[in-house]
Amino acid sequence: MHPALQGLMTIVVGVGACVSYFYASNLFIDKVLFPPRGPNAGRNINRANLIRPWLFLFPAMFVLSVYLAYPVFETLRLSLTDRAQDGAFVGLDNYRQLVSEAKFWEAIRNNLLWLIVVPAMSTIFGLIVAQLTDRIKWGNIAKSIIFMPMAISFVGASVIWKLVYDARPPEAEQIGVLNAVYMYVTGNDPQQWLTIPLWNNFFLMAVLIWIQTGFAMVILSAALRGIPEETIEAAIIDGAGPFQIFFKIKIPQMMGTIMVVWTTITITVLKVFDIVYAMTNGQWETQVLANYMYDKLFRASDWGVGSAAAMVIMLLVTPILVWNVVNARREMR
């Protein structure tokens, strides 16, 4: 069967199954379980209204349980076992081995560096762009261009930036923009930017900042437009300048949104894998936790230590995720 036809059939079957499920659920509640008739009609209607949302949510909760909750518990189990000993329980041995490896601490150090730089720079650039494009005619065009990298996969963006950092022999024509500028300004030989320790981490971070700035800009632009004009007009009447209005009127009113953007990017940073894998594969001191976990799981086939690394990532992400959800719900109220 042609793949396009197969895909179309899958969509039709999936949508049809969802519609059938919701239709059948309604019929079961209203006709069989709690029919709205007889002496208990009022009580049955109330009970049906209580159960109906949970019945509708059941497919999503079931899928989440299978594809999210189960892998978490299975990963925890694997992190406490040793594959080389036929899955024997080894307690915290995998975690002890994890903390004894220099590559793990290199990954922790790099992840901390990413956490400090990427969320801050993405949020700051997003805020600046949102503010600058908010009042100009071609602001929407500029926003569309800046938001465009969000449509590119991390691997695609990595390929683009790898060309930017590309280096060829000095006598050959350079196709890497960075080396072309570097040679024009300094007259020195081209540099292999991705092999320079410490600095190569910043070159990798530039890719994620480039992508996430568009996300931050869209959210912060909406927050900027939600600020009551009365507060800004009152500040202007009181003699406040543009910088005072921005830092003392606008920023405090959108601080909640800024924190949501910051933490959302922080979670993305903690899970960063594709960029490092596609550009350096963790070489030249650019290892990060997700790439370290991948190396252990699929290259070294050490499921115990790999699962332990996955649990470490989950433990780092969970508090930020919970705080983000709580803060978002507070903003909605």
| Helix/strand/coil for 81 | strand
H helices of 28-133, in order, are 41-64, 70-79, 93-100, 102-133
- 273 neighbors 294 (Cβ within 8 angstroms): yes
d(CA 286, CA 276): 7
Note the pLDDT of residue 31.
84
* Angle formed at CA 58 by CA 54 and CA 62, multiple of 5 degrees: 145
The strand ranges marked E within the chain are 81-82, 88-89
Per the prediction, the chain carries an average pLDDT of 87
Length of the chain: 333
**Residue 39 identity (one-letter amino acid):** P
Per-residue model confidence as pLDDT tens digits over 80-90: 988 778 778 88
Average pLDDT over residues 89-113: 90
At residue 89, the 3 state secondary structure works out as strand
Could you read off the pLDDT of 126-161 as tens digits, one per residue? 999 888 887 777 878 888 888 898 888 889 999 999
Residues 232-259 have pLDDT tens digits of 888 888 888 888 888 888 888 888 889 8
Cβ atoms of 235 and 76 closer than 8 Å: no
pLDDT band at 309 (very low <50, low <70, confident <90, very high): very high
What is residue 68's predicted lDDT score, i.e. its pLDDT? 85
CA distance 302 to 78: 10
Whose tokens are 């570097």? That residue is 182
| Cα dihedral 306, 309, 315, 318 sign | negative
CA distance 140 to 159: 27
Alpha carbon distance 308, 315 (integer Å) = 11
- Sequence ranges of the chain with CATH classification 1.10.3720.10: 96-332
pTM for this model (two decimals): 0.78
Residue 264 tokens, joined: 């959302």
Chain-centroid distance of CA 122 in Å reads 13
Per-residue H/E/C for 217-234: HHHHHHHHHCCCHHHHHH
Q: What is the DSSP letter of 137?
A: T
| 96-332 belongs to CATH 3.90.420.10 | no
